[in-house]
Amino acid sequence: MKRWLRLGAAAATLTAASTAMAQLPQPPVHTAPAHPAVAKEADGASVDSTVAALYEVISGPAGAPRNWNRMRALFAPDAKLMVIQPGRDGGYGLRTMTVEDYISRNMSAFNTSGFYEREIARTTDAFGQLVHVFSTYELLRSPNDPKPFMRGINSIQLAFDGKRWWIANLVWRAEDAGLALPERYLQSR
């Protein structure tokens, strides 16, 4: 009889714990931005249009205003932008930014210098609503510059919410004297 009472008490405890767990708040599922609507209807319609909009929105001559609402609207809520850069100790670090951090960090540079980032090659992998784009870029001060002042790779993760594509995360690494772009990332696949 004591065994049955213990089993009954254990079952009652499990039932109470299950009920309590069901009442805990669940993490939110983000399907819509908490910022203004997309500035151009095509933004987010496809992976291609989303990546093209990213490059387009940050590029322009010195002092030209950028459409920051369009930039904000490309990214999912809580998305991060990260740059891999050399550290003081000889290693490498990862600087993490929000979209707002990126905007405030680059405003003065965009006001004083032309900045044109363009995609020169792409590798894409997809699984359902998840796409990873390895986008090789070059940076120019003017769209007619004969040679870029920098090149690198943007690693862009995109997610589809059933209605449109969002940039979930963006990590980039610039080429330098110790790391040249491999030939395989200079040709689209």
Q: How far apart are CA 181 and CA 91, in angstroms?
A: 19
Q: What is the pTM of this model?
A: 0.79
Q: How far apart are CA 166 and CA 50, in angstroms?
A: 8
Residues 6+ apart with CB under 8 A from 129: 159, 160, 161, 162
pLDDT digits (tens, 9 = 90+) for 83-120: 999 988 889 999 999 999 999 999 989 999 999 999 99
- The H or E element spanning position 171 is strand 165-174
Going along the chain from its start, the domains and CATH numbers come out as 47-178 (3.10.450.50)
What local confidence, expressed as pLDDT, does residue 4 receive? Answer: 45
Q: How far apart are CA 97 and CA 120, in angstroms?
A: 25
What local confidence, expressed as pLDDT, does residue 38 receive? Answer: 59
User: Looking at per-residue confidence, does 23 or 135 come out higher?
Assistant: 135
What local confidence, expressed as pLDDT, does residue 37 receive? Answer: 55
Q: Which of 3-12, 34-43, 135-144 is the least confident region? A: 3-12
What local confidence, expressed as pLDDT, does residue 132 receive? Answer: 98
Return the closest-CA partner of residue 44 out of 110, 143, 138, 131: 131
Q: How far apart are CA 124 and CA 136, in angstroms?
A: 11
pLDDT at 27 over 60: no
